[in-house]
Structure 1
Amino acid sequence: MCLAVPARVVELLDDDRATVSLGGVKVACSLALVEGVEVGDYVIVHVGYALNKLDPAEAERTLALLAEAGDAVAGALPA
C-alpha cells in the first residue's frame, strides 16, 4: 500500500528540492512536479516527490485524521 502525506515546506533548496516537515521529522523532497512552492506551503509528498500543493486547512484536517487513525490502531494492539 502506498500513502501520500501532507508535509509543510520549511526550506527551499537548490535543484528544485525542499526540506519538508513530516510530523516533526525533516526530509528532503523534489519539487520538480510542482510550481510556485514557497516556505510555509503544504505539499502532498509521495516517495520523495511533492505531487501538488494543498490548502492549509485541508492539510491540517488530513493530518488530524491520520493522527486519529494511528491512535485507533495503537489502541487496538495488545499491550
Structure 2
Amino acid sequence: MCVALPGKVIAVRSHDRKAVVDFNGNRVDARTGFVDINPGDYVLVHAGCILQKLTEQDADEMNDIFSEIGSEAGA
C-alpha cells in the first residue's frame, strides 16, 4: 500500500522545480511538477512528488487519522 502524506511548504526553489516540505519537523525536498505552490501552502506528497494542494483543515484531519492509526497499531 502506498500512502501520500500532508506537509507544509517551507520554501520553493523555482530553478529546479522543488520545494522544501515540512512533515511534523522532518523537512524533505519534493518535486513540484505542475502544481503551483507557495510557502505556507499545505500539500499532499507521495514518493517525493507533490500531488496537490490541501486546505490546512484537510491536512490537519489527515494527520489526525494517521496518528490514530499509529496509536492503534502500537496497542
Q: Output the aligned Cα RMSD.
A: 1.0
Unpaired runs of 5+ residues, structure 1, are none
Counterpart in the other structure of 2:67: 67
Q: Deviations over 1:29-78 (max 9, x none)?
A: 0001312x111111100000000100111110111111111011111xxx
**Higher CA-based Rg:** 1
Question: How do residues 15-54 of structure 1 correspond to structure 2 at under 5 angstroms?
Answer: 15-35=16-36, 37-54=37-54
When the two structures are superposed, what TM-score results if normalisation uses the length of structure 2? 0.91
Give the percent of matched residue pairs that are identical in Structure 1 and Structure 2: 32
In 1, Cα distance between equivalents of 2:29 and 2:12 = 9
Match for 1:52: what amino acid? Q
Give the superposition deviation at 1:11.
Answer: 1.2
Unpaired runs of 5+ residues, structure 2, are none
Task: Tell me how many residue pairs correspond in the alignment.
Answer: 74
Of 42-51 and 5-14, more deviation after overlay is shown by: 5-14
